[in-house]
Amino acid sequence: MVENQALAKMRRGEPAFGYALEMGSPVAAEVLAESGVDFLMVDTQHGSYNNPESTAFSFMAISTGRSTPMARVATNNYTQIGRLLDEGALGIIVPMVDTPEQAKAAADACRYPPAGARSWGWGRAVRHNPDYTTTINDEIFVAVQLESAEAVANAEAIMATPGVDGCWIGPGDLALSLGLHPSTAYGDERHEAAIARVLDACRNTGKIPGFAAFTPQEARKRADQGFLFLTAGTDLVFMEEGVRHGTSYLYGEGALPGDSYGN
């Protein structure tokens, strides 16, 4: 049976934490799949190196571990969503959703009729799940990104859309739409008020609130605030941080490779 363990946690009111895959590396996906994190999200919108082939291989790598496979689609596009589902995604995150009509299009693309309008077909998603078509409608997690002032204004109507299970706030684009720079928006009253309004909309409609955090520390803070669907970093950032830490250890804080240390 298809079982979305991350969704099961969120339905119980428990936060599900995940990492985004931006490198297009199945090896990175395999390593993170063994980390114990609840889900991994293949990012086909902003991932620098993800393409159809690397995405397929990343889903294969994720299946070696316990993390639930999810994906962010590049746009709210019926065909793109269907392809990611066919590859085995159990969660679809759709960016830049500002209206209930856009939310409905996203939700309809994710489920087979009569619940939605997904085309009858599948790829490797069915490989280890012979009852895939009879269970997937209940196990798929559909999250729309609310990341603009317009989306915040429409938040309750968007979240009330049938078939939408939750949201994933994009704090960077939300900041820009409010006239703030993402690098200085953290803690700004206008930014936090917009985030709180989306959280309230989810509570009022019984939907799952999500937030795109950039670090485990920020994800934990947002979980304490009430968010349940949380990314906590990316494979690329983890690699960069590891390299910086290692280089600082080797050469000293602030030193550059090649500096003289008297040897």
Cα distance between residue 62 and residue 182, in whole Å: 31
Active site annotation includes 46: yes
**Side chain identity, residue 151:** A
Cα distance between residue 45 and residue 74, in whole Å: 4
- C-beta atoms surrounding 259 within 10 Å: 9
H or E element that contains 6 = helix 5-11
Helices then strands, each counted (H, E), the chain: 12, 8
Measured in whole angstroms, the distance separating CA 224 from the mean position of its chain's CA atoms is 19
Please tell me which residue in 46, 128, 181, 245 is annotated as part of the active site. Answer: 46
Cα distance between residue 179 and residue 185, in whole Å: 9
The closest of 248, 240, 247 to 23, measured between CA atoms, is 240
Cα distance between residue 81 and residue 254, in whole Å: 45
Strands 68-72, 91-94: pairing is parallel
Cα distance between residue 141 and residue 8, in whole Å: 10
Catalytic residue IDs: 46
